[in-house]
Amino acid sequence: MHMVVSLAGRDMLCLQDYTREEIETILKTAEMMKIWNKIGKPHRVLEGKTLGMIFQKPSTRTRVSFEVGIYQLGGLGLYFSANDLQLRRGETIADTARVLSRYVDGLVARVYSHKDVEDLAKYAKIPVINALSDFSHPCQALADYQTILEKKGRIAGLKVVYVGDGNNVAHSLMIAGTKLGANVVIATPEGYEPDKRVIKWAEENAAESGGSLELLHDPLEAVKDADVIYTDVWTSMGQEAEAEERRKVFRPFQVNKELVKHAKPDFIFMHCLPAHRGEEVTDDVIDSQNSVVWDEAENRLHAQKALMALVMGGIKV
């Protein structure tokens, strides 16, 4: 018997809180949203609902995709910058969460510290979606695996290789990939490995799903026979002081024509964007036939619409 998966009222802070079936439900819904968009079928499943969007960090894709997404679902998005809300400086996060819960039906937050989004969720009476914290970027990983599924027809058994900094994007990619049965390989310079908690989770996920996790320090060994090669900027927001040092350390981890020769001929190249061309990736890779970065960026819209529709109570799958 097919069980109905209801995610109504759930927060999305980190994909480790979700089962494989729940993640697959979001991905199936995202695929449906994309089809509806393409054929122009109205899907105003959140008619009259409002989404509060709290941004401590500037953003292009995240802000636009959530604003357009809630609008296409029939709702209204309200954007608050850090200055609008005086978070932590004026009103506490707990009080902000309590007040906004009385006005809006869901919250999206892009924050520096993961604790901020956890506190919002703890005190809000409505679903809270993490639109990026220093620890995880679940919305990005949902769009990523939607893209992999589209391009490759499956996720389980694929070799998904991340080359670069063991950061928030790497964390979410590892967590979701190992839950979905992929063979995830993370190649970082020494000292830039992912968080130990995330490594432990991913190993447990892989044991359950039949996937695997490998941590390497050699990008060449990592990308051998890769189905997917993924990278991200070497210096994230808030780390600007380390930029020069990071450039030196990460130089051998650049994804360039030489490196990708070792992947499968039909590998796909992915990047969460914005890209620093000439640093973590060269033009001849990001602009190549193998690159799917623009489809991946588009899928942020569809994956986030799916997530909002499910947690804000619009649809059951």
Return the pLDDT at 239: 81
Per the listing, tokens 């001929």 go with: 265
Give yes or no: 110 in active site: yes
Return the pLDDT at 312: 97
Task: Return the structure tokens found at 152.
Answer: 């490759």
Q: Decide: helix, strand or coil at residue 25.
A: helix
Displacement of CA 244 from its chain's centroid (Å): 26
Which of 16, 56, 72, 140 is labelled catalytic?
A: 140
Q: Decide: helix, strand or coil at residue 242.
A: helix
- Residue 52 makes CB contacts below 8 A (sequence gap 6+) with 78, 80, 100, 103, 104, 106, 107, 108
Which of 110, 171, 271, 302 is labelled catalytic?
A: 110
Quote the DSSP letter at residue 137. Answer: -
- CA 141 to each of CA 74, 83, 272, 304: distance values in angstroms, whole numbers, following the listed order: 25, 28, 9, 11
Give yes or no: 2 in active site: no
Give yes or no: 139 in active site: no
Give yes or no: 195 in active site: no
The yes-or-no answer to whether 15-136+299-311 and 139-296 have a common fold is yes
CB 192 within 8 A of CB 217: no
pLDDT, tens digit only, all 317 positions of the chain: 455 778 999 999 999 999 999 999 999 999 999 999 999 999 999 999 999 999 998 888 999 999 999 999 999 999 998 777 766 567 888 999 999 999 999 999 999 999 999 999 999 999 999 999 999 999 999 999 999 999 999 999 999 999 999 999 999 999 999 999 999 999 999 999 999 999 999 999 999 999 999 999 999 999 999 999 999 999 987 788 889 899 999 999 999 999 999 999 999 999 999 999 999 999 999 999 999 999 999 999 999 999 999 999 867 65
User: What is the domain partition of the chain in residue ranges?
Assistant: 15-136+299-311, 139-296
Which of 10, 63, 137, 302 is labelled catalytic?
A: 137
Residue type, 246: R
pTM of the model: 0.96
Indicate the CATH number for domain 139-296.
Answer: 3.40.50.1370
CB 151 within 8 A of CB 292: yes
Give yes or no: 144 in active site: no
Give yes or no: 119 in active site: no
Which of 227, 272, 302, 304 is labelled catalytic?
A: 272
Sheet of 50-55, strand order: 76-81, 50-55, 106-110, 128-130
CB 99 within 8 A of CB 125: no
Find out if CATH 3.90.1170.50 is the number for domain 15-136+299-311.
no
